[in-house]
Amino acid sequence: MSTEKVIAEVARLTAIANEKFAPHIFIVPTVKFSSLGRCVGTAHLDRNALSFNVDLLKVAPEKLITDTVPHEMAHLVHYALRPQDFRKGSRLGHGRYWKMVARMLGLADPTRCAGWADTETCEAAGMKTTKVHKYTCVTCGNTGLAGPRVHAKVQRGKIYLFAKCRHNLTANCYTGATS
């Protein structure tokens, strides 16, 4: 099960954090899986908890485990070490310190967007969620998800690339399915 792999990866990254940031002690966060709309994952900073999008986990488990899990874990570690960076209105959430932590947790190229066709991680729990549209690559059968903005542009003829296979994502790839 992919959910078990995610839980195992969270535990593994917690162990890495404990090693790299000793003597600070990190407790393995609570992990939840739910339908988060277009959100890939969320870090609940004050509760030491992570939520991951169960629908996205089904279509792209590897990407979620290699990109989103360390991305969100890095927010928890950053918050534990430097809570002052999270004052209201602060824009350090994806700043230099977060990037450093994310790299230490094995994320090669930390960016604000977790790298999905259009979806970004949302940081605040309870952020308004919107529908995602499912696309299948007509060249190789790879699947991808588009948020409403990208979906509308694709339907008007704009061509994007699938994040995974880099083939063209066009209106022909739309499966008609939405979640």
As measured in angstroms, the least distance from the Cβ of 135 to Zn ion is: 10
Binding flag, residue 40, Zn ion (CB under 5 A): no
CB nearer to Zn ion: pick between 130 and 139? 139
Question: Judged by CB under 5 A, which of 137, 146, 163, 173 binds Zn ion?
Answer: 137
CA distance 173 to 144: 9
Question: Judged by CB under 5 A, which of 35, 129, 130, 139 binds Zn ion?
Answer: 139
Binding flag, residue 136, Zn ion (CB under 5 A): no
Contacts of 113 (CB under 8 A, 6+ apart): 119, 120, 121
Which among 21-29, 103-111, 136-144, 171-179 is the span making contact with Zn ion, rule CB under 5 A?
136-144
Q: Which long-range contacts (CB under 8 A, 24 or more apart) does 65-69 make?
A: 65/2, 65/5, 65/6, 65/9, 67/107, 67/114, 67/115, 68/40, 68/41, 68/114, 68/121, 69/6, 69/9, 69/10, 69/13, 69/41
Binding flag, residue 53, Zn ion (CB under 5 A): no
Binding flag, residue 167, Zn ion (CB under 5 A): yes
Q: Which residues bind Zn ion (CB under 5 A)?
A: 121, 137, 139-140, 142, 165, 167
